[in-house]
């Protein structure tokens, strides 16, 4: 259930600005954000504030996507050295074309922290639940860095453990994870997540649980609104039964829109019932 970031970021505008943002996260929506860019920026700024980013910081952004978070943190907090790592080579290429220093590597590669010898902060914005086979080796790599950097992560935890779930609940959780590319080893309750960080050697650990509507509910409402905006605008422009290139384009994008509907339904039904969205800050 990967939603096409082009659809998420697109605005119904005949002449979009050349520098189109390419965010790919679930966003923070209780900030009053209405567009996808605003929601994503709000989540990134929340993480930046949680780890107290400052101009003295050198940032390693792990799972940096197409580089939007690195650009935002460096402009908003004036962080002085900014390096990104991402698994996807195409996303790395986009980030590099924007002038960013980005390497293609998995967060779980033991060499990942060698990419940023000066790092004082390691951030993972809305991505560490994807790290395969699990995010634990990533925690260990951060902890082993000689600079003892602060760690800041936005992530997802289970509301209750597997043993407290019924068969159907566990089945739904597993289906959702399979559709979203989340390894089952990354399904942890807040307590288990805390243990993972402690076992990796972190001692100052703060895990803040956000309200269901802040991320999951807000994202679901946004994707429904976003799709409707396109449908309404096209109807206005083309007429209800039009068969013009733009309408045909919307139809060919149908798979992407279907993902919108699926993900909104998943966030509302499974996401908010089974998962909590958390902001994690830890240091050795």
Ligand X SMILES: C[S@@+](CC[C@H](N)C(=O)[O-])C[C@H]1O[C@@H](n2cnc3c(N)ncnc32)[C@H](O)[C@@H]1O
- Using CB under 6 A, list all residues that contact ligand X: 23-25, 62-65, 68-69, 85-88, 91, 106-108, 125-127, 130-132
Q: Which residue is nearest to ligand X (CB)?
A: 65
User: What residues does 104 pair with on adjacent strands?
Assistant: 86
Residue pair 193/14 in contact (Cβ under 8 Å)? The answer is: no
- Of 41 and 57, nearer to ligand X (C-beta) is 41
State both tokens at 211.
């309200």
Give the nearest distance from C-beta 236 to ligand X in angstroms.
Answer: 31
Give the nearest distance from C-beta 132 to ligand X in angstroms.
Answer: 6
- Of 108 and 247, nearer to ligand X (C-beta) is 108
- Of 68 and 214, nearer to ligand X (C-beta) is 68
- The secondary structure of 31-53, three-state, reads CCCCCHHHHHHHHHHHHHHHCCC
Give the nearest distance from C-beta 153 to ligand X in angstroms.
Answer: 11
Give the nearest distance from C-beta 72 to ligand X in angstroms.
Answer: 10
User: What residues does 101 pair with on adjacent strands?
Assistant: 83
The set of residues, in sequence order, having a beta carbon less than 8 Å from that of 171 and lying 6+ positions away, is: none
- Of 68 and 196, nearer to ligand X (C-beta) is 68
- Of 85 and 173, nearer to ligand X (C-beta) is 85
Give the nearest distance from C-beta 11 to ligand X in angstroms.
Answer: 17
Give the Cα separation of 190 and 41 in Å (integer). Answer: 25
Strands 150-158 and 121-125: parallel
């Amino acid at each position: 259930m990967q939603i096409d970031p082009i659809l998420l970021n697109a605005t119904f505008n005949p002449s979009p600005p050349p520098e189109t943002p390419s965010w790919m996260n679930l966003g923070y929506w209780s900030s009053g954000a209405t567009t996808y860019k605003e929601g994503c920026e709000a989540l990134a700024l929340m993480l930046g504030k949680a780890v107290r980013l400052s101009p003295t910081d050198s940032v390693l952004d792990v799972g940096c996507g197409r580089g939007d978070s690195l650009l935002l943190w460096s402009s908003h907090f004036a962080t002085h050295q900014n390096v990104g790592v991402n698994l996807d080579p195409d996303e790395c290429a986009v980030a590099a074309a924007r002038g960013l220093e980005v390497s293609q590597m998995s967060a779980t590669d033991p060499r990942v922290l060698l990419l940023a010898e000066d790092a004082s902060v390691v951030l993972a914005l809305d991505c560490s639940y994807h790290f395969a086979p699990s995010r634990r080796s990533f925690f260990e790599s951060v902890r082993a860095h000689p600079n003892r950097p602060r760690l800041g992560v936005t992530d997802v935890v289970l509301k209750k453990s597997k043993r407290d779930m019924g068969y159907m609940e566990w089945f739904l959780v597993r289906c959702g994870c399979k559709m979203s590319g989340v390894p089952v080893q990354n399904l942890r309750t807040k307590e288990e997540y805390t243990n993972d960080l402690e076992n990796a050697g972190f001692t100052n650990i703060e895990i803040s649980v956000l309200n269901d509507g802040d991320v999951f509910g807000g994202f679901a409402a946004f994707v429904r609104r976003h799709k409707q905006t396109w449908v309404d605008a096209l109807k206005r422009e083309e007429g209800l039964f039009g068969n013009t290139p733009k309408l045909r384009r919307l139809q060919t994008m149908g798979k992407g829109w279907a993902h919108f509907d699926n993900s909104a339904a998943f966030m509302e039904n499974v996401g908010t019932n089974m998962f909590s969205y958390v902001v994690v800050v830890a240091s050795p």
